[in-house]
A and B are shown apart, each in its own frame.
Chain A
Amino acid sequence: MKFIRDFLDKQKPLFEKGGKFEKFYYIWEANETFLFAPNHTTGARGAHIRDAVDLKRMMMTVIIAMVPCLLFGIWNVGDQHYQATGGLDATLWDKIWIGSKLVLPIVIVSYAVGLGLEFALTIVTRHPVNEGYLVTGMLIPLVMPPTIPLWQVALATIFAVVIGKEAFGGTGMNILNVALTARAFLYFAYPSQISGDVWTYLGGKPTVDGYSGATPLALSAEASSGASESITAIGEATARYEKFPTPDNQAVVDASKELAETLNTGTAVVDSFQSVSWSSGIYEFSNMFFGFMPGSIGETSTLMALIGGIILIMTGVGSWKIIVSVFAGAYIAGTLLNFVGANEYMLMPAHYHLVIGGLAFGAVFMATDPVTAAQTERGKWIYGFLIGVLTVIIRVLNPAYPEGIMLAILLMNVFAPLIDFYIVKANKKRRLKRATV
């Protein structure tokens, strides 16, 4: 390995101050420090020894935690393809092949565009290249539908890095989660490529009978509005019969009311999950927990997100308080809405909220981003809990935006500093109170 080091030492002066490529120093540095941990030592005063951790290692830990989601996602993209097109005899390798063909280009585009942009920006900003994008670059593909056009991935990446991050001063300074900024950008700029029938790659093949490709989020909203439409229609019709109370009409009214009641038993959403005919059992609870369903590449599997979550919690890199409180918030909000029960979506059992719409992925990888989350420990509880609550509220009360977790996290990113402000203010107050007693 010595010859590599010698080679680097020889080239180094070119990039240092006064060298030919002085402008590219930080690009050089990023690559050099990737190969070799630098020889910097501590100052003459203060701590002479330092902890072995650094930002590179921390970010790498997050990437490792995402690997289960990525691998599962690649397989699932292939699996969904064959389920939708009737290729039930496809082998594991067929599925991985299809998945890789779709997913890897997205990953490559995300990294190439993002890192290229970061390198280019160091020439202008004269800041070192930060490790933050290593994580963002993996998160962006995992929250994209497999059918997303690559140019949109590139565009979203540029928007997220420039507007979401660099405009605020780079890693550590951004207010909004960078990967979610990318997704939100596409969601509002190109809605037709990121909602509707985009979650399964069909590759031009004919689909199986009854195939719809809708995600559970879309189904829930549809079933709910469908049920409430029917109920309203029946209500209107019976009202007309009631005006002429003949015995026959009365019988119709009674029967209709009974029908309306059966429609309003709170099982419409779950029934609609179970009535998906093109692939039996696809939206069973357990199936959704494991993630064998259409959706964004990496976010369908609650199990894989939880494995990542365990890695983050064990290593202390992600805050367990945030992860736990997002789940708690979503479950509690779901339960409360059960009691309100004004429509069918509200009546969906609360635990379904935890396995659909990428809630687990968002809770584990997006909400825990230390830069955009609340920074005080008490604040983290509040922050996570409100993300959970808002996710369910956005999903249920505003069916136009089924992407509850994405919007909830972005919204709470904005409010995180406010939460911290009050927690820190309480600390100041305690100190002031102590002084005056």
Chain B
Amino acid sequence: MSEIIKLRKGFDIKLVGKAERKKGEVDQPETFALKPTDFLGIQRPKLHVAEGDQVKVGTPILFDKKQDQVQYVSPVSGEIAEIVRGEKRRLLEVRILADKEMEHVTFDKHSVSEIANLSREHVVSQLTASGVWPNIIQRPYGVVANPEDEPKAIFISGFDSHPLAPDYGYLFHGTEQYFQEGINILKKLTPGAVHLNVNADGEISQVFSQAQNVQLNKFSGPHPAGNVGVQIHHLDPINKGEVAWTINPFGVIQIGKLFLEGIYDSSKMVAVAGSEVKQPQYYKTHIGASISKFVEGNINSDNVRYISGNVLTGEQITSNGYIGFYDHLVTVVPEGDYYEMFGWIKPSFNKLSFHRAFGLLSFLSPGKEHKLDTNLRGEPRPFVQTGTFEQVTPMDIYPTYLLKAILAEDFDDMEGLGIYEVIEEDFALCEFIDVSKHNVQGILREGLELMQHS
């Protein structure tokens, strides 16, 4: 057991409507979707299927022409109902009408002792063909990993510190064996360590505490302590030319199941939370589920925003939209499209702020859960206030300078200032607290794309 890494910088956003550790009983959604837009780094998605085709769980639906061995597969069995395209025929969603009973594509099944003897090539080919590969994310850039790379280490964050984050102990309860085999498989992919980072401030799930073959690291502190990027920075930072991989515990369990059971198991638990949800709780469903069944009659008001993921990094979806591939959370918050008289100066206890400028009194009640809406709370301005981004970024990085380097498209500076070490979620708090209301995450992604493609 290693020492606890204590992080002091950061900010916990406490919101109303945390999901209760309870499973809701509703019918399974009728449609599911695979969204190529969830996978960063897909450049030219190509379809294997057409509308009307029958698919099973694990049938390849699309692939990236630039990285053709990685398959993106169907989460359910059924019929391809609709292929949704956007501007310039950009592929947005492949919607699948699900069967009542799931039929699985079968892959090679192995015993525990067989798994120990599998070669790297065999493992990689089964991972990429079966649809579990996109769980593996590459740093730098935060894109789907390239199977030909050999990462210096693999990092797994065992907790989510985002607002209203689902409880991993509850999500992954009882999956010890799959998780362990998943780790054993991952161990074959890297010459370095597999790091499992857990929350020193909370209860550690058995799934993690009993895991073998991993280096267990404990992190303590406010959000973003649970961000894998922050953890990497403190364990084994990514330098120029190096590649590390990250994976969510859900992906590890999927990999374990794939090798032990020979199936692509898309079932997952999803928390539906937020101030506008009548009964915030968990639901068992599959990857890419439509949220309509979970939110129907479960929402307090009409003017709300549905977010796949959390309020800091998630993506807005419609009331019958689909949960993203990587998300275990649907957040519903009020829309903030209203005017507020003298809203810029009125003192308030209810508006959450990291700052303490005149009238922002939320710091007096640090434990209070807030009900926040999507109002921008001000107008975009040039950078003025300094020193605050650093207070919520527990890394040896100057976010403002990095952002300015990106805006100036200064490649040397971007590299020198540490762009390889961060992805959007690591700067999400900067975006939240920004006095000048920049689109910080958007700017960072532009920079990452510049670095990656030129």
Using CB atoms and an 8 Å cutoff, list the residues of chain A in contact with chain B. 1, 4-5, 33-58, 60-61, 64, 128, 130-132, 169-173, 314-317, 319, 370-371, 373, 375-377, 380, 424, 427-428, 430-432, 434-435
Least distance between B354 CB and chain A CB atoms (Å): 6
Which residues of A have CB within 8 Å of B400? 375
Q: In the docked arrangement, what's the CA distance between A128 and B442, Å?
A: 22
Asked if residues A41 and B417 are in contact (CB atoms below 8 Å), the reply is no
Decide yes or no: A428 and B432 within 8 Å by CB, A370-B385, A375-B400 being known contacts.
no
Q: Chain B residues with Cβ under 8 A from A434's Cβ?
A: 237, 239
Cβ contacts under 8 Å, B305 to chain A = 41, 48
Whether B239 lies near A57 (C-beta < 8 A) is no
Whether the Cβ atoms of B381 and A50 lie closer than 8 Å is no
Cross-chain contact of B315 among A37, A44, A171 (Cβ < 8 A): A44
- Interchain CB contact (< 8 A) of B360 among A40, A53, A64: A53
Is the beta-carbon distance between A57 and B358 smaller than 8 angstroms? yes
Instruction: Specify which of A51, A58, A375 lies most central, judged by the most chain B CB atoms within 10 Å of its CB.
Output: A51
Contact of B432 among A41, A47, A171 (CB under 8 A): A47
Of residues 325 through 379 on chain B, the ones whose CB sits less than 8 Å from some CB of chain A are: 331, 333, 335-345, 348, 351-360, 362, 372-379
CA of A56 to CA of B181 in the docked complex: distance in angstroms? 55
Q: How far is the CB of B385 from chain A (nearest CB, A)?
A: 5
Measured between alpha carbons, how far is A43 from B378 in the docked complex, in Å?
Answer: 14
Q: Is B252 located at the chain interface by the 8 A CB criterion?
A: no
In the complex with contacts A132-B384, A375-B386, A54-B358 CB distance below 8 A: no
Q: Which B residues, 416 to 437, have Cβ-Cβ distances below 8 Å to chain A?
A: 416-418, 424, 428, 431-437
Contact between B441 and A315 (Cβ–Cβ < 8 Å)? no
List, in ascending order, chain B residues with CB within 8 A of A55's CB.
378-379, 381, 384, 435-436
Complex interface: chain A residues within 8 A of B341 (CB) = 1, 4-5, 35-37
Contact residues in A for B424 (Cβ distance below 8 Å): 46
Q: How far is the CA of A42 from the CA of B440 in the complex (A)?
A: 12
Bound-state CA distance A427–B396 (Å) is 7
Alpha-carbon distance between A24 and B437 when the two chains are bound, in angstroms: 23
Which residues of A are found within 8 Å of B375, using beta-carbon distances? 37, 39-42, 50
Contact between A371 and B442, CB atoms less than 8 A apart: no
- Which of B50-58, B75-83, B210-218, B306-314 is the contact stretch? B306-314
Question: With an 8 A cutoff between CB atoms, is B398 at the interface?
Answer: yes
The answer to whether A38 and B398 touch (CB under 8 A), given A44-B315, A51-B433, A316-B355, is no
Q: How far is the CB of B245 from chain A (nearest CB, A)?
A: 19
The count of chain B contact residues (Cβ–Cβ below 8 Å) is 78
A376 to B390, CA, bound (A): 9
A-B contact count, CB below 8 Å? 225
CA distance A435 to B360 in the complex (A): 43
Query: What 0/1 pattern do residues 15 to 49 of B give for CB contact below 8 A with A?
Result: 00000000000000000000000000000000000
Known: A48-B307, A55-B384. A33 touches B379 (CB 8 A): yes
Q: Known contacts A54-B377, A424-B401: does B432 contact A49 (CB below 8 Å)?
A: yes
Q: Please provide the 3 A-B residue pairs with the shortest distance between their CB atoms, ordered closest to farther.
A: A54-B378, A37-B343, A172-B382
Q: How far is the CA of A393 from the CA of B336 in the complex (A)?
A: 54
**Is there an interface contact between B387 and A319, defined as CB atoms closer than 8 Å?**
yes
Report whether B378 and A427 are in contact in the complex, using a CB–CB cutoff of 8 Å: no
Tell me how far the C-beta of A288 lies from the nearest C-beta in chain B, rounded to whole angstroms: 30
Chain B residue nearest in CB terms to A376: B398
8 Å CB contacts to A: which residues of B388-413? 388, 390, 396-398, 400-401
B316 at interface, CB cutoff 8 A: yes
Is B240 in contact with chain A by the CB < 8 A criterion? yes
- Show 12 residue pairs from A and B whose CB-CB distance is below 8 angstroms, ordered by the A residue: A38-B379, A45-B315, A49-B352, A128-B381, A132-B384, A172-B382, A370-B387, A373-B386, A376-B398, A377-B390, A428-B416, A435-B242
> Is B13 in the interface zone, CB < 8 Å from A?
yes
Q: Which of B242, B348, B374 contacts A52 (CB 8 A)?
A: B348
Are A49 and B373 also in contact (CB < 8 A) when A55-B436, A316-B357, A427-B417 are? yes
B381 engages A41 (CB within 8 Å) = no
Q: B439 contacts the other chain (Cβ, under 8 Å)?
A: yes
15 further interface pairs, Cβ-Cβ under 8 Å (given A35-B342, A54-B378, A172-B384): A38-B376, A39-B337, A43-B439, A44-B316, A46-B312, A47-B311, A47-B313, A48-B307, A48-B333, A49-B312, A55-B378, A55-B436, A56-B378, A315-B355, A427-B417
Contacting residues, chain A, for B373 (C-beta < 8 A): 49
A431 CB contact (under 8 Å) in B307, B344, B372, B418: B418
B341 to chain A, nearest CB (A): 5
Q: Does B383 contact A (CB under 8 A)?
A: yes
Closest to B401 in A: A424
Q: Which residue of A lies closest to B434 (CB)?
A: A51
**Alpha-carbon distance A91/B428, docked complex (angstroms):** 57
Are B381 and A314 in touch, CB under 8 angstroms? no
Distance in angstroms from B315 CB to nearest chain A CB is 5
B240, B307, B336, B397: most-surrounded residue (chain A CB, <10 A): B336
Residue of B with least CB distance to A430: B396
**B381 to chain A: closest residue by CB:** A55
A375 with B387, Cβ < 8 A, contacts A44-B316, A47-B311 known: yes
Contact between chains at A52 and B385 (CB < 8 Å):
no
Q: Which chain B residue shows the least CB distance to A172?
A: B382
User: How far is the CB of A352 from the nearest CB of chain B, in Å?
Assistant: 32
B442 engages A45 (CB within 8 Å) = yes
